[in-house]
Amino acid sequence: MIVRDIVEKLGLKVCSGENGLNREIEGGYTSDLLSDVMGNADENHVWVTLQTHKNIMAIASLKELAAIVLVKGYEPEADAAEQSNEEGIPILSSEEEAFELTGKLYEIINQAK
């Protein structure tokens, strides 16, 4: 399962980092505390959050995450989008809330395993 698959299946908007759409996804993590994500998300996870600050990209890069999905139609701050393009880690956006989106992601990632 790659990032492009979840974009297509869940109708996500690609805000930035389009060159990373072929990154492999192996699981996911949902949290809005970046300190928590730093401690608990794993490599190749897709991360669901409402935080749009540029620090989300530093965490994603450090933890080698597959992609970030912003909920409720949020868009990344300009400097976050810029770093996402540079690093090739996509920032996606969904109109849904974290609860619904996480449920759907959980289902399609597990089905693909």
Partner 1 sequence: MRKYRADLHTHTVLSPCGDLEMSPVNIVQKARERGIDILGITDHNSTLHAPLIKELAVKEGMMVLMGAEVTTKEEVHCLCFFEDEEKLSEFQKYLDQHLPKMPNDENKFGYQVVVNEKEEIIDEVECLLISGLSQSIEEIERKVHDLEGLFIPAHINKMMNSIISQLGFLPPDLNVDALELSHHITKEEFLKKNKYLSKYNFIKSSDAHYIENIGNTWTNFFMEDLSFEEVRKALRAEEGRKIELEE
Exactly one of 77, 82, 87, 88 binds partner 1 (CB under 8 A); that residue is: 77
89 binds partner 1 (CB under 8 A): no
Contacts of 109 (CB under 8 A, 6+ apart): 1, 6, 25, 26, 27, 28, 46
C-beta of 37 vs 67, nearer to partner 1 = 37
| Min dist. Cβ of residue 62 to partner 1 (A) | 9
What are 80's two structure tokens? 């976050």
Exactly one of 9, 58, 87, 104 binds partner 1 (CB under 8 A); that residue is: 58
C-beta of 21 vs 48, nearer to partner 1 = 48
What are the residue ranges of helices labelled H in 11-112?
A: 34-40, 55-62, 78-87, 98-112
15 binds partner 1 (CB under 8 A): no
Exactly one of 4, 9, 54, 104 binds partner 1 (CB under 8 A); that residue is: 54
Separation of alpha carbons 94 and 48, rounded Å: 10
By CB under 8 A, the count of residues binding partner 1 is: 15
55 binds partner 1 (CB under 8 A): yes
Residue with tokens 């996402």: 84
Q: Which of 57, 58, 62 is nearest to 91 (CA)?
A: 57
Q: Which residues bind partner 1 (CB under 8 A)?
A: 32-38, 51-55, 58-59, 77
